[in-house]
Amino acid sequence: MSSRKVHFVSLGCPKNRVDSEVMLGVARAAGYAHVDDAAEAEVIVVNTCGFIGEAKKESIDAIFEMAQHKEHGSCKRLVVAGCLSQRHPEELAREMPEVDHFLGSSDMLKLGQVLAGDAERMLVGNPAEWLIRAGDPRTLSTPGGSAYVKIAEGCNRTCSFCVIPDLRGAQRSRPIPDVVREVEQLAAAGVREINLISQDTIAYGRDAAGRAEGGERATLAELVQKVADVPGVRWVRLFYLYPETMTDDLIELLAGHPRVVPYVDMPLQHAADAMLRRMRRGHGGDRLRRVVSTLRERVPDLTFRTAFIVGHPGETDAEFEELCDFVRWAEFERVGVFRYSDEEASRSYALEGKVPARTAASRYRRLMTLQRRIAHKKSAAMIGRELDVLVEGTSDEHEYVLMGRHAGQAPEIDGQVYLSGGEVRPGEMCRVRITQASDYDLVGELLDEDEGERGAALALPPELGAVAAKRRVALRVLQTDGRERQQN
């Protein structure tokens, strides 16, 4: 076994996590073993987030924390990658002499050069050059038979508060056969839940990169159908849908396909017309109400997750009240609230009417309190229901308690189902009756069922089970409080 050891810290969104998993795969291919303790590592990699101010601060804090291991641990090389170094390469290089190499948001595979010992310090490239492929090395870090799959990179939107197009480049969709090939590999390794992600998932296939042979445009519905048809896949989940009129075929998949979960993640950002114009969202509140109403009417048992920004420049008390009224009307199952971050590179930075931080914080608390009451009502309504639950493993707080998720709970952000009675293994799908509910978490008892049937549905050949166990690591993932952790 190699004595070379590497430690990873991954910050930010699931898209960043996929990039970290690719770098993990590069490191493993180079003969490095991943270690949970940074003090033991010869190489430490920090994959940063640079989307908002709070995320940048957390990234910088993590870099300086890891730099201590160069003085007091085994670390010989510290590598900083991702959006923060893509956004501020020269500044970081000047202010952080402790860092040996900088990689940008498109430079995951360049880690191989770093580990080989013949790389320059500055390796930040063109963000438009990166698009993950099924043949790229990747080591999974998500628990319990779940994985994220990036279907595109970059974004063509011009939202005034967002700098993602600068950090990630224009939209670039992966060809459907390449995505399906990756999903087939994941399913063969024991993955049961496929979470499709990108910067702008609803726009999949609209760019030339996503077109099939012959010039026909690939569609999201076509991709979802083919992914759901991969043998072994039990759940397909969609993240980051822009609030547009969804096609009938996509709605039909959400409503009726047995392996496409009726779950929509659609960041709406606000509900007041004037605010949506300032945000350059390209629509008004009426469209949002139509989209929500259509999905509620046509998709049975829908779980709707969204996100809103409070404190954006120009937001008035009346506009915030309109947002609160909209949330009361829609009764979303999951809501994330973000306090506006004034980023110099964004169009919103130049707008007048800056909202005081104290006011934004107050609005954040009010909206979260409102949503918490809605979430509690939704959770309480689950008591007595029988649900399929994907088992993830033991609870972080109680080592003798198992936990998992039902179809209405996305990985890491939507709460858990804590299980009692019987025995199941991580990655198994089991039937559970819900007995208790809190604001976001549920408690359920395992129902008696034919163990042989459950095993037949989920059993893997011994060699594939070994592959699944070998591929996964306990990746240290940090999620900024203003983004994914305050999801409900």
For residue 452, the one-letter residue type is G
Residue 159 labeled ligand binder: yes
Q: What is the dihedral of CA 418, 422, 425, 426, to 10 degrees?
A: -10
Three-state SS string over 2-44 comes to CCCEEEEEEECCHHHHHHHHHHHHHHHHCCCEECCCHHHCCEE
Residue 430 labeled ligand binder: no
Residue 155 labeled ligand binder: yes
What is each CA distance from 70 to 44, 92, 97, 104, in whole angstroms?
A: 9, 18, 12, 22
Phi (first) and psi of residue 375, to 5 degrees: -60, -40
Count how many Cα atoms sit within 13 Å of the Cα of residue 116 in the half-sphere of its side chain: 10
Of 189, 209, 241, 162, the closest CA to residue 483 belongs to 162
For residue 466, the one-letter residue type is A
Residue 75 labeled ligand binder: no
For residue 194, the one-letter residue type is I
* 34, β-bridge pairs: 6
- Nearest-5° Cα angle at 178, 222 to 209: 75
Secondary structure letter of residue 68 according to DSSP: H
> CB within 8 A of 58, min separation 6: which ones?
11, 49, 478, 480
Number of residues that make up the chain? 488
Q: Provide the annotated binding site for [4Fe-4S] cluster.
A: 13, 49, 83, 155, 159, 162
Per the annotation, binding residues are 13, 49, 83, 155, 159, 162
